[in-house]
Structure 1
Amino acid sequence: MNALSIRDPADLLSFIGHTLGFWPQESLVCITLNRNNVGATLRIDLPREPGHERLFARTVASYLTNDANASNIVFALYTSATTEPGQPKPHAATIAALTGVLAENNITIRDGIFVGNDTYSPYDSEPGQNITLPLSTTEYSHVNAEFIYRGSTIAATNQITLPRRSHQGDDAMAVNEQLTTIGAMHPEEALEHAHRLWTDLLDAKEYPADEDTLTLIAYFQIPHIRDQLMADIPGIDELPQHVLFAQTRSAPKWSRFEWAQQLLLHAYTRTSPENAAPILTTIGYINWWEGRGSKAHQFMQLALDTDPSYRFARLSDQMLGAGIIAGWNTNRVTAYRTQLDMP
């Protein structure tokens, strides 16, 4: 993939939208930079109550400083709050606190954009200046055109819409029959069969036959097999526990992740309520690997909606709530990212 170049604020906003996959609302988005190269992208909800600006700034800085190569950042602040003439921009105290905390970590803010419902402007414009442009101009940006050409789209919100499940009663019976068959196998034999099926599906690039789909659903119900199948996704030949926590020497093969998610969403459409949680949790885990924490949380919650007792989803969601970042995303070389240069 050729590197992209950001030429103006419209390009930057387009890059953020396509990188996140949705248009942020009441959010702060920060992008770390090392010279002219993009590092990590962070989206976080804006504080809802005054008085928490310093804590918020420290939380943001704790994420951004995981990029050891970051020397400065750019940010975009998305809010429906309006700017009154002669008054500071909304969330000015938040940005001031962030500026100070980042300075303590030798990171400077290179630029900022204020994004309203219909317009955007420089966050720190001079008094009396009116450099406001309609958001519609981002539709014609160079970066937006390039992403659309590559098949990318920007959703209106970050809310997940699951595909409709089309499972029949026979599907649940078939999964239970597969579980009986798997239970009669030697554990190592079952693990090898599951590994072979899953890796063949990941390499095939086409949706599987119904029988293979139902067999895959059955394998994901068994915790030690589920863990191995998850560890197969990044295509790294290292210990599964290192892969699961993204603590590997090798970079993952990111091209496998989206197809794995599509296969699992396809499998979800054939699940019964009692079989859906492992599939949804795994999709959430993929999003955590990619640095999409808010989407990962939504998938964990959807898994718990189908099975409140599913411990893996609960533990994974607690990991997200603790702010733990996938190890690959703390390293610019291994992080999930779009290739892009800043002039």
Structure 2
Amino acid sequence: MKPSEHLTVRGPEDILGFIPHSLGYWPAGSLVAMTLHGNRLGATLRLDLPGPETLSDPRDYADSVLGYLQADGDADGALLACFTNDGWMEPPGTYRGLLDALQSVLGAAGMPVRDAWYVGDAFWRDAYCTEPSCCPSPGRSVQAIRDSMLNAEMVFRGSSVGPAPEDGAHPPPTLSGEDRTAILAYEETWAEQLDRRRGSRDQFGQLMVQWEALLANVPGQVLPVNEVAYLRASLRVPAWRDAVLVMAAAGQAAALAGAAKFGIFDAGCILAPVGPALLGFAPSGPASGAGGAGWEPAGPGIPGIPGYGEVLLGLEPVVPAWHTLNSLDAVLEQLTACGGQAGAAALTGRGWIAWCRGRGSYAAAYLGRALEEEPGYRLAELMLELVRRGNLCGWAARKEAAWRKFEPDAA
């Protein structure tokens, strides 16, 4: 997350108070590194604190931290915070060698460490200060961080700090037994109809129009059960699921061109498209400009139209349609409630969006839940491998493209 340019940092409490808002949760057992552009905060990185074997020689770990932070090409400094209760109450502390290694590696790369802190459940203190008059043991109360001016400003802007991903952050919405039964029944009916139309250009075009119209506005209300069922059924077709993700980030043209490139259309599939009327389905004919009889999808390699791989890795477009991705995340949240293969598809989509936002911990949590719903779900497996290897989404690695929880002019 990038901080709003109107946030004012007055001291360490403000910086430490911003971190949970940046991550979405209060970290534990974590190293948090933040880049600096002069006196301005840049990007935020969270990593698990290393174990004893790595701490005995932390140079490789420090090099990894540098590799991530160098994605912020304008960074000229760094701040570090160790969120842990272990081994820091009495100097030099368990992690002093790690901090020294980071100071050396980052300093040599032109990102000197300006400050570093230890933060526990009850106390926090400067990692380098040993003067009892200004840094008495065990430290200052963590409540000073929670009461900081910047924390209050973030709350005023609508930000909240939730549970950590591993503690079950963002559980699926709760449904009544009646709604759950209805959704699953409708879903099977829609799935049976859609399965016969997997090769239909008209059905694909109609579906893209429906999803695009839905995502044009951030959903402010719960979707009717029949719409939820239809959308869940559409995600059970892998090619359509991928097209929805690509369309949300890069537009309908990219989704259509990629579908044509992968050869998903069958000229012999002439069944009329189907869909709920409330989603804008046009029963009198195919969707104009998308799935109509005269529609010819753009061919591969057309300048300005990125491929599926480039979009899913965050390499293209230069800046994704974050408003639409935010809307998609909200819709997918509603589609996870009934689990199953469709729930796994929705959770995988949410995991991909979290990864695009640079929130690897949330991405891993969503993808893990997807594999619990549908063991062996291939896209979730592939995405989880990327996350566990520490690969950054291309958009998250570029300042001009990175997701912002709040727009710069938020007030």
Partner Cα distance (2:202, 2:212) in 1: 15
For residues 1-343 of structure 1, the aligned pairs below 5 Å read: 3-49=6-52, 50-85=55-90, 87-131=91-135, 132-158=139-165, 159=167, 160-164=169-173, 166=175, 168-185=180-197, 186-206=199-219, 207=221, 208-234=223-249, 236=251, 238-241=305-308, 242-269=310-337, 271-337=338-404
Q: Deviations over 1:312-340 (max 9, x none)?
A: 11011111122110111221111123568
Deviation at 1:195, TM superposition (A): 1.4
CA RMSD of aligned residues (A): 2.1
Does the Cα contact within 8 Å between 1:22 and 1:154 map onto a contact in 2?
yes
Partner Cα distance (2:140, 2:407) in 1: 27
Q: Percent identity?
A: 26
**Which secondary structure does the structure 1 equivalent of 2:249 belong to?**
coil
Aligned length: 338
Deviation at 1:290, TM superposition (A): 0.4
Partner Cα distance (2:344, 2:73) in 1: 36
**Which secondary structure does the structure 2 equivalent of 1:329 belong to?**
coil
Alignment CA distance shift 1:176-1:150 (3 Å) = same
Unaligned regions of 5+ residues in structure 2, if any? 255-304
Does the Cα contact within 8 Å between 2:173 and 2:333 map onto a contact in 1?
no
In the alignment, residue 178 of structure 1 is paired with which amino acid? W
Larger Rg: 2
Partner Cα distance (2:170, 2:71) in 1: 31
Q: TM-score, normalised by structure 1?
A: 0.91
Q: TM-score, normalised by structure 2?
A: 0.77
In the alignment, residue 162 of structure 1 is paired with which amino acid? P
Deviation at 1:265, TM superposition (A): 1.1
Partner Cα distance (2:215, 2:358) in 1: 21
Partner Cα distance (1:334, 1:41) in 2: 15
Alignment CA distance shift 1:33-1:286 (3 Å) = same
Larger RCO, structures 1/2 (Cα 8 Å, 6+ apart): 1
Matched residue, 2:278: none
**Which secondary structure does the structure 2 equivalent of 1:328 belong to?**
coil
Deviation at 1:259, TM superposition (A): 3.0
In the alignment, residue 320 of structure 1 is paired with which amino acid? V
Partner Cα distance (1:313, 1:135) in 2: 37
Does the Cα contact within 8 Å between 1:172 and 1:272 map onto a contact in 2?
no
Deviation at 1:52, TM superposition (A): 4.6
Does the Cα contact within 8 Å between 1:171 and 1:272 map onto a contact in 2?
no
Alignment CA distance shift 1:256-1:7 (3 Å) = farther
Alignment CA distance shift 1:2-1:95 (3 Å) = closer
Deviation at 1:250, TM superposition (A): 3.0
